[in-house]
Amino acid sequence: MSIQVTNITKIYGKQKALNNVSFNVGENEIVGFLGPNGAGKSTMMKILTCYIPQTEGVAKVCNFDVATQSIDVRKNIGYLPEHNPLYLDMYVKEFLEFVGGIYKIKNSKQRVTEMIELTGLQIEQNKKIGALSKGYRQRVGLAQAMIHDPKVLIMDEPTTGLDPNQLEDIRSLIKNLGKQKTVMLSTHIMQEVEAICDRVIIINNGEIVADEETKSLQQNKTQQIITVEFDKAISEKLLLQIKDIESAKSKSETTWELISSSKDDVRKAIFEFAVKNNLSVLTLNKQEQKIEDVFKELTKK
Ligand SMILES: Nc1ncnc2c1ncn2[C@@H]1O[C@H](COP(=O)(O)OP(=O)(O)OP(=O)(O)O)[C@@H](O)[C@H]1O
Ligand SMILES: [Mg+2]
């Protein structure tokens, strides 16, 4: 296991930010950490990266305990913090070499060049960080998180502030990184989760409310909503005879919205029903529930 979190609780003064949170992340997994504002995502990430101590529980990264083996944890982890704090007066290369020095990496210069290429910083590499646009600062943050080639990457909202082109570049970079590294990232962009994460952990009010593979989260909780248009008028009563169809809402005499919570695809049954009743299906449209809907449902409270 790359990350093991067992019964972690964090209390800030009077506020409980994390309540008995447990989860594991396996090697080379890309996990999306979702939750509304204030849910506890950044708090969990800060604990995993040894920035703040937990109040209770145990967290391990690459089998090192964050509370007692902090140096080993830090050697194995790369962290892009939420607001990406950088030294604005330093030049990009100077800063990355400085970070490389902290990690005591050999061939620092070569590694900096590699990171600049990997994060697409070439044209901005000779500027001061303070002179960079937000997206390029974000790239510097990514480069510093990866410079020591850590096994585990923790990224708190890594794609915030990127333009659509940069967004695509950084997402594919993260996806590629996930082939050799364990990545945990937080985000508010649901498409991002669907595009890059193998697994999703949803946290609400400091408690985990879902921990599933992205695919199964999309499918299991899915209500199938099918819009179907027949060539003739048809009654609701008859439509409710279709296997697994729970409700039918009329859009017009011939067009209906059918709802099913069956795990099996109900379209086959609809076609069979049409054949049996001498109807033609003119259009049929299946709409899947999105992670966004699941998120809203689970974090309403
Ligand atoms: N240093 C602190 N002192 C007191 N309370 C804090 C501190 N840091 C965080 N909190 C509180 O803990 C809760 C969880 O905050 P956290 O930053 O972990 O949320 P988050 O899920 O990252 O939210 P966001 O999506 O807005 O980034 C919030 O209610 C926040 O106000
Ligand atoms: Mg946060």
Check if 204 has its Cβ closer than 6 Å to any atom of ligand 1: no
Q: Which of 9, 16, 42 to mutate to test the pocket of ligand 1 (most atoms within 8 A of CB)?
A: 42
Check if 68 has its Cβ closer than 6 Å to any atom of ligand 1: no
Check if 38 has its Cβ closer than 6 Å to any atom of ligand 1: yes
What whole-number distance in Å separates Cα of residue 58 and Cα of residue 24? 12
Contacts of 175 (CB under 8 A, 6+ apart): 30, 195, 196
Atom 4 (ligand 1): residue with closest C-alpha?
12
37 Cα: distance to centroid of ligand 2 (angstroms)? 7
Instruction: Tell me if 23 sits within 8 A of 208, measured CB to CB.
Output: yes
Check if 12 has its Cβ closer than 6 Å to any atom of ligand 1: yes
Predicted pLDDT at 221: 58
Predicted pLDDT at 288: 67
Predicted pLDDT at 295: 86
Predicted pLDDT at 170: 87
Dihedral in degrees, nearest 10, Cα atoms 201, 204, 207, 211: -20
Check if 35 has its Cβ closer than 6 Å to any atom of ligand 1: yes
Please name each of the domains of the chain with its CATH number.
Answer: 3-213 (3.40.50.300), 221-296 (3.30.70.1560)
What SS3 state is found at 30? strand
What whole-number distance in Å separates Cα of residue 187 and Cα of residue 194? 11
Check if 37 has its Cβ closer than 6 Å to any atom of ligand 1: yes
Structure tokens given for 119:
């994060």
Predicted pLDDT at 222: 62
Tens digit of each residue's pLDDT (9 = 90 or more) over 230-263 = 999 999 999 999 999 999 999 999 999 999 988 8
Predicted pLDDT at 173: 87
What whole-number distance in Å separates Cα of residue 106 and Cα of residue 144? 15
> In sequence order, what DSSP letters do the residues of 210-279 get, joined into one string?
EEEEHHHHHHHTPPEEEEEEESS---HHHHTTSTT--EEEESSSSEEEEEE--SS-THHHHHHHHHHTT-
What contacts 24+ positions apart, CB below 8 Å, involve 105-113? Answer: 105/147, 105/148, 111/147, 112/147
Predicted pLDDT at 296: 84
Check if 41 has its Cβ closer than 6 Å to any atom of ligand 1: yes
The 3-state DSSP composition of the chain as helix, strand, coil percent (nearest 5) reads 35, 30, 35
φ and ψ at residue 205, rounded to 5 degrees: 50, 40
Predicted pLDDT at 166: 83
Predicted pLDDT at 21: 97
Residues of the chain with pLDDT under 50: none
Q: Which of 43, 52, 82 to mutate to test the pocket of ligand 1 (most atoms within 8 A of CB)?
A: 43
